[in-house]
Amino acid sequence: MLERTAPAGSGDSALLGTARRIYREWYGKLPRVQPLHPYWAAMRHLIRLVDRAADNGAANVVVIIGGVADTVADHLPGLHSQVSLSELLEGNFSKAFHQPIKFDLCICTLGASELRRFRDMVQTIAPYMSSGGKILGFYPNFSLRSLSTDEIAFLQNILDLPWSVRIHYAGSDKSARVVRRFHATLSRDAGGRLAKLVRIATILLSVTPSALAANRSEAAAPEEHSPRLPEHCTSITIDVTVTERVVPAVIEARRHLEKAISHISPSQPSYGSRWQPQIDAIRRDIPALRDSMSCLHYAQKEITFDGRPPFQSDLMQIQFREWAVENEFPNLIPTLRQMYDNPLSYPESLGEFNGRTISRIFYCHARIVLAGITYANRPKRILEIGGGYGEIARLWLTNSIAPAESYVIVDIPESLFFAEVALKAEFGDQVAYFEGRDPGTRILLVPIPYLGDLTRSADLVINTGSMQEMTDEWVDFYIEWLAKYDTRYFYSLNYIAQPIAVMGESRNLWSQRLGAEWSTRHLRLNIPLLDLEGPTRDFLEALYEKSPATRRLKEWSIDRGHLLSKPTYVEGLDLLRQDFTIENAKTFVRTVMERMPYHPKELLYIVEWLTRQGESEFESLRGKLREELGGFLSHAPAPPKNP
């Protein structure tokens, strides 16, 4: 990178000085020459584009130094930088700046050999250009060299760049004659400086009338002629406007998001301290996400959808996970072996194991699919509440044993944005976004504001790692919705029995509080695979069937001599939810208070409920438990990225 220096002062004689003054007045100074000058028509596209950029507010300029166009934007008010083409292509450009910078204009004079390198140059400099910034390549062809078909093909390649590209050719029979004569005189080296000046002055005077006429007639030709290569080409100006390029799937997902948000009812509750800050961060960051890959990587790294860690170098850690899943579902080992992670996932999270690409978190996603297939009778029509960026959906749709025929995801619109982009990248037009009308596609994405209009039924509804992070208001909302929704099963994998004082990511007091219209078919406290991920929270895996509950609290095993431990606590809680009366709630609370060595969060939920029913004797316990809770933990979103 070079510091730009002002032109050196000259020690010309008075005669030369006068000649230069007259020359400048009449003919201008390259690159900004006047219409009397033989090169005016050849320079005019470049001058016009630079002046238009300046009128539009361009300020910062970078010049790829080395030719006649170098000073054309010297008058712009911002930062001026210079770099040689080789320095730029060697990747030294970014090192020159201590802080990120964006240029509005880049000027590059191209020699014959550099025409072929212009495309690379544009791609290298583009990340440093502001949106709408212009990269202008100028090839002066004053020697009237004819362009080879190869060179023309290279120029056409530039048109494939993902930005707006225009090529302007200059040259006509008349201007070519003038340019050729003038250029030949300039190129002759015979005699001293004064002799050369005299020669130039003489030729200028003799060609001026024809130069003016040729320039005028070339400039009068309609501008749409300039993209055509003339027979006698005097210059080529390539005009690249670097615009933000957003792939169509992202544009569509942004549009869907905006519409869904505008449909949110003013009475909709906040998403709570776990998700509201992340939703705010997503809204802040979506404008910078332009393609499927950047959306997926953002979802995987910046949002707590799946807490995806880098791939383990210790393959034994992966082997343990594979064994943990195989041990639970030995009959589905071939299915597990055919499942693989999304190949567009961020590369550091991916690795090869048993012949396919996986990540560590892949096992958690895959296991949910295998559990659903096993416990809910190979369901074909799935609805997922809180589907993250759609990875469980992807595995359910592609697994070899029971691929889903219909997969619906219900989520916060901002989260659904990521599911839409990721699933469209793989399933294309099998994916539709629900805005009140169901087009019957295999995959349907339903933002919360439109959930009330959804009529498509499901064999199974799933919610994993999700209700646990919702507020109590949202848990109530989904429990009411599930009671009415046309489905047979509900599968839940969420936290349970956390000590009130250790809530972690939990944002409610009881996630699995379904009504008595649901029978419990499967309950499992803690999953070996999830313990490998971090044995600091207790998960309850549960499958419920929509069929009136028949179990009673009096069946609780602690009344038959079992200790009150976490598993029997969870058993009693599930019996209570099926048989939820004031008397049973009181019995449950008293038993837990007497026999359990700590206070699980659901206890506070039940005590709150009892006091709301007028059972004032529980008020002091409620106060004590609330004190233990000490307020919910908050979750800080990722800080903004540097532009």
Ligand X SMILES: C[S@@+](CC[C@H](N)C(=O)[O-])C[C@H]1O[C@@H](n2cnc3c(N)ncnc32)[C@H](O)[C@@H]1O
Indicate which single residue of 138, 169, 275, 362 sits in contact with ligand X (rule: CB under 6 A): 275
**Under 8 Å CB-to-CB from 48, ≥6 apart: which residues?**
none
Q: Which is nearer to ligand X, 240 or 445 (CB)?
A: 445
* Minimal distance, residue 425 CB to ligand X, in Å: 18
- As to burial, measured by CB atoms within 10 angstroms (0-12 exposed, 13-18 middle, 19+ buried), residue 447 is buried
Compute the distance between CA of residue 23 and CA of residue 37 in angstroms, rounded to an integer: 10
Tell whether residue 325 is a contact of ligand X (CB under 6 A): no
* Minimal distance, residue 594 CB to ligand X, in Å: 35
On whether the CB atoms of residues 178 and 211 are closer than 8 A, the answer is: yes
Selected range binding ligand X among 156-164, 255-263, 299-307, 479-487, rule: CB under 6 A: 299-307
Tell whether residue 104 is a contact of ligand X (CB under 6 A): no
Selected range binding ligand X among 195-203, 247-255, 381-389, 567-575, rule: CB under 6 A: 381-389
Indicate which single residue of 306, 426, 541, 574 sits in contact with ligand X (rule: CB under 6 A): 306
* Minimal distance, residue 313 CB to ligand X, in Å: 24
Q: Which is nearer to ligand X, 363 or 556 (CB)?
A: 363
Parallel, antiparallel, or unpaired: how do β-strands 431-433 and 381-385 relate?
Answer: unpaired
| 517: its two tokens | 């219209």
Tell whether residue 388 is a contact of ligand X (CB under 6 A): yes
Per rule CB under 6 A, count of chain residues that contact ligand X: 20
Tell whether residue 386 is a contact of ligand X (CB under 6 A): yes
Q: How many CA atoms lie within 13 A of 455 on its CB side?
A: 5
| 455 phi/psi in degrees, rounded to 5 | -120, -10
Compute the distance between CA of residue 444 and CA of residue 456 in angstroms, rounded to an integer: 9
Q: Which is nearer to ligand X, 374 or 587 (CB)?
A: 374
* Minimal distance, residue 473 CB to ligand X, in Å: 9
Site string for ligand X, 404-423 (x = CB under 6 A): -------xx--x--------
Compute the distance between CA of residue 581 and CA of residue 339 in angstroms, rounded to an integer: 45
Tell whether residue 215 is a contact of ligand X (CB under 6 A): no
Taking phi over 0 as left and psi of -120 to 50 as alpha, with beta for the rest, 354 belongs to left
* Minimal distance, residue 474 CB to ligand X, in Å: 4
**Under 8 Å CB-to-CB from 430, ≥6 apart: which residues?**
441, 442, 443
Tell whether residue 273 is a contact of ligand X (CB under 6 A): no
Q: Which is nearer to ligand X, 210 or 374 (CB)?
A: 374
Tell whether residue 271 is a contact of ligand X (CB under 6 A): yes
Query: What's the N-to-C CA distance of the chain in angstroms?
Result: 23
Which residue sits closest to ligand X, CB atoms considered? 386
**Under 8 Å CB-to-CB from 517, ≥6 apart: which residues?**
483, 546, 547, 548, 549
Nearest alpha-carbon partner for 382 in 362, 406, 358? 406
Compute the distance between CA of residue 613 and CA of residue 529 in angstroms, rounded to an integer: 40
- Residue ranges in 568-597 that form contacts with ligand X under rule CB under 6 A: none
* Minimal distance, residue 392 CB to ligand X, in Å: 6
Q: Which is nearer to ligand X, 234 or 466 (CB)?
A: 466
**Under 8 Å CB-to-CB from 373, ≥6 apart: which residues?**
332, 335, 379, 399, 401, 402
Tell whether residue 335 is a contact of ligand X (CB under 6 A): no
Tell whether residue 363 is a contact of ligand X (CB under 6 A): no
* Minimal distance, residue 496 CB to ligand X, in Å: 16
* Minimal distance, residue 315 CB to ligand X, in Å: 23
On whether the CB atoms of residues 438 and 453 are closer than 8 A, the answer is: no
Tell whether residue 609 is a contact of ligand X (CB under 6 A): no
* Minimal distance, residue 394 CB to ligand X, in Å: 11
On whether the CB atoms of residues 381 and 406 are closer than 8 A, the answer is: yes
Selected range binding ligand X among 156-164, 300-308, 348-356, 436-444, rule: CB under 6 A: 300-308
Residue 284 CA: distances (Å) to CA of 260, 280, 287, 304, 642: 17, 6, 7, 16, 13
Q: Which is nearer to ligand X, 154 or 632 (CB)?
A: 632
DSSP state of 116: G
Taking phi over 0 as left and psi of -120 to 50 as alpha, with beta for the rest, 450 belongs to alpha
Tell whether residue 434 is a contact of ligand X (CB under 6 A): no
* Minimal distance, residue 411 CB to ligand X, in Å: 5
Site string for ligand X, 7-46 (x = CB under 6 A): ----------------------------------------
* Minimal distance, residue 535 CB to ligand X, in Å: 18
Tell whether residue 637 is a contact of ligand X (CB under 6 A): no
* Minimal distance, residue 245 CB to ligand X, in Å: 28
Indicate which single residue of 108, 385, 553, 604 sits in contact with ligand X (rule: CB under 6 A): 385
| 431: its two tokens | 């994916």
On whether the CB atoms of residues 318 and 351 are closer than 8 A, the answer is: yes
Indicate which single residue of 130, 208, 210, 304 sits in contact with ligand X (rule: CB under 6 A): 304
Position 599, amino acid? H
Q: Which is nearer to ligand X, 305 or 588 (CB)?
A: 305
Tell whether residue 541 is a contact of ligand X (CB under 6 A): no
Q: Which is nearer to ligand X, 289 or 553 (CB)?
A: 289
Tell whether residue 208 is a contact of ligand X (CB under 6 A): no
- As to burial, measured by CB atoms within 10 angstroms (0-12 exposed, 13-18 middle, 19+ buried), residue 480 is exposed
* Minimal distance, residue 417 CB to ligand X, in Å: 10
Q: Which is nearer to ligand X, 87 or 531 (CB)?
A: 531
Judged by DSSP in three states, 129 sits in strand
On whether the CB atoms of residues 588 and 553 are closer than 8 A, the answer is: yes
Which helix (H) or strand (E) element contains residue 32?
A: strand 32-33
Compute the distance between CA of residue 609 and CA of residue 572 in angstroms, rounded to an integer: 17
* Minimal distance, residue 466 CB to ligand X, in Å: 3
Judged by DSSP in three states, 366 sits in helix
Residue 330 CA: distances (Å) to CA of 78, 324, 367, 376, 404: 67, 10, 12, 17, 21
Q: Which is nearer to ligand X, 275 or 485 (CB)?
A: 275
| 198 phi/psi in degrees, rounded to 5 | -65, -45
Tell whether residue 447 is a contact of ligand X (CB under 6 A): no
Tell whether residue 249 is a contact of ligand X (CB under 6 A): no
- Residue ranges in 452-511 that form contacts with ligand X under rule CB under 6 A: 464-466, 469-470, 474
Cα 553 off chain centre by: 50
* Minimal distance, residue 396 CB to ligand X, in Å: 12
* Minimal distance, residue 448 CB to ligand X, in Å: 6
Give contact residues for ligand X (rule: CB under 6 A): 271, 275, 304-306, 385-388, 392, 411-412, 415, 448, 464-466, 469-470, 474
